[in-house]
Amino acid sequence: METSEQIGGPPSSGPQPETLDYLLAPHSVEEFVEHYWTTRPLRVVRSNGAYLQRLFSLHELDDAISSSGPRSPRFRALKSGREINLRAAYAKHVTHEDISVHYRLGGTVVAQFLEERNSKLTSLCNHIASRLIGPVGVNVYMTPPGGVGLPPHFDAHDVIVAQLHGQKSWRLYDWDGKPPPPGEHFRPGDTDPDGPRTEFTLGEGDVLYVPRGMVHAAEALTTHSVHLTIGIRTPTWHDVLLAWFEEEVKAASGLGEVIPHDTLVSRATIREVWRDKLEHQFEWVDAESVFDIARRHAMSGFRQRPSGRFSTLFGSAHLGVWSEFEVREHDWSEIDYAEDHATIRFGGKEVLVPAAFEPEIRYLSGLRAPTTVAGMESTLDFDSRLQLVRSLLDEGWLRLLERRDTR
């Protein structure tokens, strides 16, 4: 495993904290993808405890935890390599105090889906998704001194670990560099706990990349340990082709019919029925369909920025011709124009707009400043424009500004 060292923080002109570049510095994203991504682990040692606090502080962690209910799946409880069912343990609804007690008694607490509760982590996930193409999520592991959350295991997705507080001892077991077969899960007996491995300590500000399929384990040392685990689920060819085939099967006719008994007992009859009833429906693989599914997988990694979302929903019903609005900032978006509709893709979703509105969509997509229904370049009447804009506000592509229509 390669280890690089970065002393101190980045210069003022360096990458912003909510980016993959910031996590990997001094390595570039291009270098990381070429030399490490999915094939080799990487450890970045910084000797700078304040570095990652710019991304996500312990105060922000407290806020994220206190702002959400303590039930599963928001939280997991682990101890000595086992999952603990707190609800069963306490025979009641779990409270934040129950989670605190579990931690004080030596258990690890995992707060999940933090990207849904912190805007900086939302931006980080969107940026990583834009560079590595795939859904991204963030969990935080809080482990008391000497605690062990999970036994040696591998993940079916790639992981970036960012050590926010304290230290943790890590073990990375020797690995052939191959990803796990689709659908395969780690079994504890698959790895010799005394087998060849690399051991090191991850300190505050350090970052570790662990490829999918690589067996690893971690243990807190003499201090409390808090680290972010950033999971990156880049789609595989298996994912894309399975999804494509599922869509093809759903669209095929005759598949809901009961298979005749004599067909089930004769291989020759099975071949004959397949040839007569189904082969023509699956003769060709549609490359364009596979491409579209791959694109949808990639888009699922993006989330809509929540800022102003609900105030826009509340205000769209009162939209007037002089109400100001703008195209909402999206980390990734695109528009495709077909003969009968336009498809707007953003924030992990698709919105179909009838082709009659194509000139207005082209106009709105090129906006660089707020506008109004009355100020739009359009040949449509005001009622049609209001209908279009209200629909795009509700979908989240447009954002209503706070200033109200006073005319």
Question: Where do the domains of the chain lie, and which CATH numbers do they carry?
Answer: 2-232 (2.60.120.650), 237-288 (no CATH), 309-400 (3.90.930.40)
Residue type, position 193, single letter: P
For position 375, what pLDDT does the model report?
Answer: 94
318 burial (CB, 10 Å; 0-12 / 13-18 / 19+) is: exposed
pTM of the model: 0.75
For position 199, what pLDDT does the model report?
Answer: 94
26/39 Cα distance (integer angstroms)? 19
For position 406, what pLDDT does the model report?
Answer: 47
For position 246, what pLDDT does the model report?
Answer: 83
Residue type, position 390, single letter: R
Whether cis (ω within 30° of 0) applies to the bond prior to 152 is no
310/396 Cα distance (integer angstroms)? 9
For position 11, what pLDDT does the model report?
Answer: 46
- What sign has the CA pseudo-torsion 88, 93, 99, 102? negative
210/157 Cα distance (integer angstroms)? 9
Pick from 344, 339, 317, 341: nearest CA to 328: 344
- Give the CA count within 13 Å in the CB-facing half-sphere of 377: 9
22 burial (CB, 10 Å; 0-12 / 13-18 / 19+) is: buried
Pick from 189, 182, 235, 238: nearest CA to 213: 182
Task: Note down pLDDT in tens along the chain; length 407 residues.
Answer: 666 655 545 545 678 999 999 999 999 999 999 999 999 999 999 989 899 999 999 999 988 888 776 665 688 889 888 888 877 666 567 788 888 888 888 999 999 999 988 999 999 999 999 899 889 999 999 999 999 988 888 999 999 999 999 999 999 999 888 888 777 767 666 666 677 789 999 999 999 999 999 999 999 999 999 999 999 998 888 888 888 888 877 877 666 776 665 655 555 665 666 666 655 656 655 555 655 666 666 666 666 666 667 777 778 888 999 999 999 887 678 898 999 999 998 877 889 999 999 999 999 999 999 999 999 999 999 999 999 999 999 988 999 986 544 45
Backbone angles phi, psi at 214, to 5 degrees: -85, 125
Q: Give me 272's structure tokens.
A: 């004959």
Residue type, position 141, single letter: Y
Long-range interactions of 98-103: CB distance < 8 A, separation 24+: 98/70, 99/70, 99/75, 102/77, 103/142, 103/144
For position 180, what pLDDT does the model report?
Answer: 82
Report how far Cα 81 is from the mean position of its chain's Cα atoms: 25
